Amino acid sequence: MIKNFIYLDHAAATPVDRRVFDVMLPYFSGLFYNPSSPYFPAVQVRRDYDNAKKTLANLIGGKQDEIIITAGATESINLVFNSVSGHVVVSNIEHHAVLNCAKKCPHTIVLVDGRGIIQVEVIAAAITPKTQLISVALANNELGTIQPVRDIAEIVKKERMDRLKNGNKMPIYLHVDASQGVGQLNVNVARLGADLLTLNSGKIYGPKQVGLLWAASFVKLNPQIIGGGQERGIRSGTENVAGVIGFAKALELAVDHQSFEQKRLATLRDYMQNNLIKAFPEAVISGSQKNRLAGHLHISFPGIDGERLLFILEDRGVLVATGSACAANKGTKSHVLEAISISDEIANGSIRITLGCLSNEKNTRQACKIIISELKKEYERLRK
């Protein structure tokens, strides 16, 4: 059994940072109190919890009372869609949580271009007088493609102003799922122009099953879980104190190290991409090479079985993905690759490499050598 894997799937999950774990630890035992209780130790825990929420809000340019804590991005997305009744617009490369929620509403699914980028004019054309929500991921989890969110926000702002002039009282909101962007991009709600924003702790070296939904003060949310009235009555249940305190620390670290990490990951990714293309000129890079996350590399090797390659690499101690973790778990073809019109031959030979805190120059070079070596063996086997 290989114990020391080279992990190249940070988009699927990240380890909890030791600094995050350290700030969480006291709240599992010594500071275990229910923050809704009236006695002093519980009041102190409530203060710590509220301060963590304030930190989360400040780091994205929001206010504490605009933050709803959830059990992750999927729940945050469900909360958004369950709070609208009108027409919604999403792209065909959104996460399954968004696509499946959209199908429960009157909806339009717009097409992206061959790079996986949403065209602003396509979004504008899809808006009707009854459109209430546009939901866009800041960066795609498979391709790493960064979307023109600010430009889409301007379209929403213009539509809102036009409705005011025309007496149309239907509100229109822009929801941005920034789960894949934090730590590599500047995620500020005002800068993005978002009305709602989703974040996921488990993608930024924080604990899993912790997320948030930021909602501007003018957005009305419907209660997701009915109970004791926690989280402004939107999401009842005893607060996950340790998780939220860890989330706040993880986001703080992500924001503090963003610039450095962005450059570091881009250097490692470019090394891997250049060497793989040099060894296999027929390889295809999917998505935009200009507008993508620094740690993302989606590359296809025509004629190769990507799933077979994944398991071969696992045997050699290298962990990669063939697409999103959700799609891989279901054994289905990537809807993202279908959306950008990738042929079956190329799609079947694709792997997704996502770099992160466990990546360094030494193990990236080693992983690259192993991938090249195993691919050469596979091509040789296919030629026989």
Catalytic residues: 326
Calpha distance 155→286 (Å, rounded): 28
Token pair of 356 as six digits: 């992160």
Contact between residue 309 and residue 375 where contact means Cβ atoms under 8 Å apart: yes
The three-class DSSP label of residue 230 is coil
CB atoms within 10 A of CB 30: 9
Helix H segments across the chain? 18-24, 40-59, 73-81, 96-102, 120-126, 149-166, 189-192, 241-256, 258-279, 306-315, 325-330, 335-339, 344-348, 361-383
Q: Is 303 left (phi over 0), alpha (psi -120 to 50) or beta?
A: left
DSSP at 272: H
Q: What is the full DSSP assignment across 47-80?
A: HHHHHHHHHHHHHTT--GGGEEEESSHHHHHHHH
Q: Report the run of H or E that residue 108 belongs to, with start and end.
A: strand 107-110
> Residue 355 to residues 122, 164, 217, 221, 269: CA-CA distances in angstroms?
32, 46, 36, 36, 7
Contact between residue 140 and residue 180 where contact means Cβ atoms under 8 Å apart: yes
Calpha distance 185→269 (Å, rounded): 16
Calpha distance 11→357 (Å, rounded): 11
